[in-house]
Homo-oligomer: A and B are copies of this chain.
Amino acid sequence: MARTTGSDGEKTEAAVREAAVSLIARLGYEAMSMRQLGAEVGVQAAALYRYFPTKEDLLFTLMREHMEGLLEAWDTARPATVDPAARLAAYVRNHIAFHIERRHATHVSNMELRSLSHERLTQILKLRAAYEKELRAILRDGAEAGIFEIDDVGLTAMALIQMMTGVIVWFRPGERLSIAEVTTTYLSMTMRLVGAKIDAYRAARRERRAKDAVAL
């Protein structure tokens, strides 16, 4: 009726995070009770307050770490090239891989924003905006280089993100399609959507060189 044998703060906290993501994704933040979460971890509800001062703190921590993880993943996956088509392909691949791998956490971060305080909501939205800005930059560069055909950069970025993130709604690992197949298909849909011509970047560069050569 007190500290249990083998209990370990680090392990318990990790178990709480994991169980919370899963429970909130399945039931919703409001519908999940602290008693349920405790039961899932194998601990009384009161023990949870050793790790997170309130239920909302727990939610916010999960969301912030998810968004920071997304930005870090992109920072690692970001290619060195300036070719917009290659950068867009990398963005799509990273986005889909990250979100399929963390379906539950993505669900939480996208659906439970309204349960955050105003200040914390702002923090999460700022992280999200930074991530989306990267995509808009790629689209703008591609449009200005003439290798993408885009009506409205902001609108296209939103459409692409909604389309890609939507994967988590219907995708189930081990069903009809593999992650690789899904990614390939989404990549070709993306490239068509932005009107990218295959190897348009190299063609454009060749053309520019030829023009420069003439100018000399």
**Is the CB–CB distance between B114 and A185 below 8 Å?**
no
* Pick from B30, B149, B182: contact of A155, CB under 8 Å: B182
Q: In A153-189, which residues have CB < 8 Å from any B CB?
A: 155-156, 158-163, 165-166, 169-170, 177, 182, 184-186, 188-189
A152 in contact with B28 given A166-B158, A170-B158, A193-B193 (CB within 8 Å) = no
A210 to B188, CA, bound (A): 33
Question: How many residues from A make CB contacts under 8 Å with B?
Answer: 34
Given contacts A166-B162, A166-B163, contact A185 B151 (CB under 8 A): yes
Q: Say whether A209 faces chain B, with CB atoms less than 8 Å apart.
A: no
With A163-B163, A185-B151 already in contact, the answer to whether A28 and B30 are too (CB < 8 A) is yes
The distance from the CB of A24 to the nearest CB of chain B, in whole angstroms, is 11
Whether A206 sits at the interface, judged by CB under 8 Å, is: no
Beta-carbon nearest neighbor of A162 in chain B: B166
* Complex interface: chain B residues within 8 A of A79 (CB): none
Among the interface residues A152, A158, A182, which one has the most CB atoms of the partner chain B within 10 A? A152
Contact for A27 among B114, B170, B189, CB less than 8 A: B114
Q: Contact at B28–A115, with CB atoms within 8 Å?
A: yes
Selected from B26, B156, B159, the residue in CB contact (under 8 A) with A114 is B26
Contacts of A213 in B (CB 8 A): none
Q: How far is the CA of A177 from the CA of B152 in the complex (A)?
A: 10
State the CA gap A179–B193 with chains docked (Å).
20
Whether a CB of chain B sits under 8 angstroms from the CB of A195 is yes
Known: A31-B114, A158-B170. 20 other contacts (CB 8 A): A28-B28, A28-B30, A28-B115, A31-B115, A111-B111, A149-B192, A151-B184, A151-B188, A151-B189, A152-B185, A156-B185, A159-B163, A162-B165, A162-B166, A189-B193, A192-B192, A192-B193, A192-B194, A192-B195, A193-B193
